[in-house]
Amino acid sequence: MKIGVTGANGFLGYHLRQSIIWLTENEVVDFNRELFNDSDGLLHFVEQCDVIVHLAGLNRHESDDVLYETNVNIAKSLVIALKQSKNNPHVIISSSSQESKGNVYGNSKKKARELIDEWAADSKGLSTGLIIPNVFGPFGKPYYNSVVATFCHQIANNEEPKIITDGE
């Protein structure tokens, strides 16, 4: 099977890509974020894949508008390529437990998932939304994608850990 991983150089994508390479007989289709701005390149990527795991996205940004538009626009670009493709891969799209909290990040991930789900319904394709709560692990960035990385960073730097937004 040929598996494409958007966000393959990000926190989750890197680990997924390595796991596929080292633990399976499947092939990973190369991806880089510039493909979202290259419609022909993105179409070529989609046409090679049996499965696409869509992990690309923006977790944090100073501008709520940039955060929302980035996540929605990359999903729109992927949907355009999927519609143009003769291929109909299974698309697994990551989202977040933030979807239900009404914040900008959660809203952007929810909208991106809905766009992929609409494509699947229209094309008789297959999409799976994957809610990924509380990620952590090697190479997690403090203050970006992991409360655990933030906590460890604070302790290692003799900072007092603070809870900014409490949650379960």
Residues 6+ apart with CB under 8 A from 57: 7, 70, 71, 74, 94, 108, 109, 112
Q: Name residues whose C-beta falls within 8 Å of residue 132's C-beta, 6 or more positions apart in sequence.
A: 12, 94, 95, 96, 97
Active site (annotated) includes residue 68: no
Contact yes or no for 28/70 (Cβ under 8 A): no
Catalytic residue among 14, 68, 105, 143: 105
Could you tell me which of 158, 52, 149 has the C-alpha nearest to residue 44?
Answer: 52
CA distance 95 to 159: 31
CA dist., res. 71 & res. 99, Å (int) = 13
Catalytic sites, residue numbers: 105
